[in-house]
Amino acid sequence: MNLLALSINKNITKTKISELLNIKLNKGIENGYYGYNENLHIVLVPFDVLTIIANDKKTIFDVLKTLDIVIKDEDNITQDYIIRIDDKLPTAFLITNEEIVLKETSVLNFNIISLSIAQSVGLEKYEKKLDTIFTKSRNIIESTYKFISISRGHLMEFAKHLVLTRHDMVGNLLLLDKPNILWDNEEAEHLYNSLTKVLELHDRHEIALSKLSQIQEDVMLVMDIINHKRSEFLEWIIIVLIAVEIVMGFIEMLS
């Protein structure tokens, strides 16, 4: 079986997916939705990642065509995996970097696998976004020392953007807490934990949050520098005004 998870940059709802594919979508894990038939299993998560599991790639591409989703390298982030069923497997599952082997198929297992890989795609989306933000932050810092004017309003807007990005990462990707359904299912919890470990989700999440914190510190530093320069400028204005007043006083005394 083949799995494809991709970020979607168009507005597509569970209702539209259900109508176009003629599949009923049910409430799944962590506010996601899933549906399936004899040919495919599909999962839509709240952070705009769609995961499709099918027996062959042609079915996946047919689904994308039906949903009018075109994969473009510069726009979409995708991750794929091979899922294999082996009823002779001594354990419930086996995960490697190349494939996921299950002893038996189950809707819950497919939903957990889809969620984990969707989180990896969503995280990669934020990682790329952070690279752009990091470059912008560096340009702001360099412009400060090149005496290029930077408005405090522009910096405040940038800082707000950082805070919202951090909030979205923590709130949308749902990586800080295990899905509620796992608390009562030890085998499902083990599958989810194994996937997050192989995909390095928590490590990547911590690195991304650390980068955000560093950028926020840089922005606060630039704000302090700008405030200091403004205070220094006002001090010079006061000094000049006092000097002008003294000169005017001398002129009056001499006249």
In a domain, 205, yes or no: yes
Per-residue pLDDT of 141-155, as tens digits, reads 777 665 555 666 777
Q: Average of pLDDT values for 212-234?
A: 74
In a domain, 184, yes or no: yes
Q: Average of pLDDT values for 13-19?
A: 89
| Residues 133 and 203 both lie in one domain | yes
| Residues 194 and 222 both lie in one domain | yes
Please tell me the total count of domains within the chain. 2
In a domain, 253, yes or no: no
In a domain, 83, yes or no: yes
Per-residue pLDDT of 72-85, as tens digits, reads 755 678 899 999 99
| pLDDT given at position 195 | 94
3 state SS of 89: coil
Report the half-sphere exposure of 113 (CA within 13 A, side-chain side): 28
In a domain, 248, yes or no: no
Q: Which domain holds residue 7?
A: 2-104
List strands edge to edge, sheet with 2-7.
26-27, 33-36, 40-45, 49-54, 2-7, 78-85, 99-102, 93-95
Per-residue pLDDT of 190-217, as tens digits, reads 999 999 999 999 899 889 888 888 887 8
* Residue 91 Cα to chain centre, angstroms: 33
| Residues 87 and 118 both lie in one domain | no
pTM attached to this predicted model:
0.80
Question: Residue 176 region, left (φ>0) first, then alpha (ψ -120 to 50), else beta?
Answer: alpha
Mean pLDDT of the chain: 84
In a domain, 172, yes or no: yes
Percentage of residues in the chain with pLDDT exceeding 90?
A: 34
